[in-house]
Amino acid sequence: MSLLMEGFSVVMELNILLLLAGAVLLGIVAGAMPGISATMGVALLSPLTFTMEPLAGILSLVGVYCGAVYGGSLSAILLGIPGTPGAVATTLDGYAMSKQGKPGIALGIATLSSFLGGILSAAALMLLSYPIADFALAFGPREYLALAVFALTAMAALSGGSFLKGMFAGFIGLFLAGIGIDETYGVSRYHFGYVLLMGGVSFIPVTIGLFAIPETLLSIERIGRAPRRALRVNRIIPGRSVLARILPAQLRSSVIGTIVGAVPGAGSDVAAIVGYSQGKHMSRQPELFGTGSPEGIACAESANNAATGGSLIPLLTLGIPGGAVTAIMLGTFMTHGLQPGPLLLHNNAPLVYQIFAGVFVANILLLVFGLSGAKLFARVLQIPESILTPGILLLCVLGSYAMRNHPVDVLIMFAAGMVGYIMVKTGIPRAPLIIGLILGPMVEGELARSLIVVGGEWQELFTPISTVIWLLVFAPFVAPLVMKGVRHLKRTIKTT
């Protein structure tokens, strides 16, 4: 406890606190810009940390990471454009609530959920590092395969009122994920003779195009019609009844996000998908998800922000980065002569507890900036569409190009935009396509590695951990049948 208190006293020093606050604010701005993901924000800042003190450099990256994951919800709620891949699920209910005239409430729920998820994952980082890291270390190809398929079941949860349309969109995403070079056999496929497609289709330009371009085109359709009603944001914190209703969803999704974040290779985008999917399955009003449900926002934002603390668990305790962001952080640690792993906690215990304290403070700063700036953020909706639309298009082009510095990504973004516009007009949900595109490579790669491990013996795919996950995969489909059978049995007993 003394080490933790010392850690907080160091982090609360003015220079460290101002640096962390600036990093969180920078992360929020970066996350709110479509295409500028948390990974890109951390990568751009990383070289600047090499001349800093170890704690200052590491906390700068932590602040940008936490801020960017939260920042993705701002454009998702206000513009219907997920700023980061982890905000795709937030878009479904956040933007719907914003269009209902409640952007402030949507931002408030997102901010509170992000804060709660971040704080709980920070507590888990401090208290449960070794148990969770040992559990995550037990994951092999078979467990990753089951986890990826489990996340894919979210396509059904995000299908809205049409299961078939949602699955159709999901399979389009899986097909797009297969374009390029097969990592297992090195064979090129589905590039149709275009060399530029041999590098595959990045999900960043597809996400931007699929969500941003349709909204831009719809805005162009509205130009010249009745002016958009200015939305007044008089309230940000939702009422007590709403807070009480979303609290179980926030707690559940925070746990899910922390565990998923601790599994190397998953990340905040997978955490948000799993958290949203499970939230819908366990909700008393699942039919409201996708129509502006406060629970939907709470599930997605609690899970993806909880993954930030969860991803630091394997990095600090085992030296294993949980994703691209923590891989960059690993390089920063090593640049400062620090080797994350079991010895770090023993040899540099004060620094580790200062990092723990920094994660707590970063999430508190996130709450302060989020609530105090909500009215300012919501004023984006009052900008005339004739001005806002070209600005969004410019950000879309810059965000798509910045990922790989390749013009083909801009073309992919516009092509995805046309597809997204057609999907909007025909009522086909867009989120399942993104899920298929993100998780497709993970499913394919882990399936190939699993088959190598088991030597073609399918029964060997079921380890104790993977079996539990497979049961969770089929539970949403089997449970309604079981409940129907139970109700039928009860009626039969009563009649006899």
What would the pLDDT profile of 138-167 be if each residue is shown by its tens digit?
778 888 888 778 777 766 666 656 778 888
Label residue 451 by pLDDT band (50, 70, 90): confident
Give dist(CA 280, CA 363) in Å, integer: 26
140 in the same domain as 48: yes
Tokens of 95: 């933007």
Chain segment 319-367, per-residue pLDDT in tens: 766 666 777 787 788 778 887 876 777 778 888 889 999 999 999 999 9
Total count of domains within the chain? 2
For residues 75 and 107, state if they share a domain.
yes
3-class DSSP state for residue 189?
strand
- Both 386 and 489 in one domain: the answer is no
- Asked if residues 158 and 92 have their Cβ atoms less than 8 Å apart, the reply is yes
Distances (CA, A) of 140 to 41, 137, 263, 404, 463: 30, 8, 10, 30, 10
Per-residue pLDDT tens over the stretch 184-227:
777 888 877 777 788 788 877 887 788 778 878 877 776 655 44
Q: What is the pTM of this model?
A: 0.71
Residues 28, 56 within the same domain: yes
Nearest to 65 by CA among 441, 358, 403, 435: 358
Q: What is the pLDDT of residues 91-119, one digit of tens each?
A: 989 988 988 888 889 999 999 999 999 99
Residue-number span of the structural domain to which 39 is assigned:
2-461
Q: Are residues 481 and 332 in the same domain?
A: no
Q: Are residues 442 and 303 in the same domain?
A: yes
When comparing pLDDT for 422 and 310, which is higher?
A: 422
Residues 298, 351, single domain; the answer is yes
Kindly give the interhelix angle for 203-222 and 88-99, rounded to the nearest 10 degrees. 10
- The tens digit of pLDDT for each residue in 267-305 reads 777 888 888 888 888 888 888 888 888 999 999 999 989
Pair 427, 468 in one domain: no
* DSSP-based three-state secondary structure for 193: coil
492 & 399 share domain: no
Instruction: State whether 373 and 325 are in the same domain.
Output: yes
Alpha-carbon gap, residue 28 to 12, rounded angstroms: 21
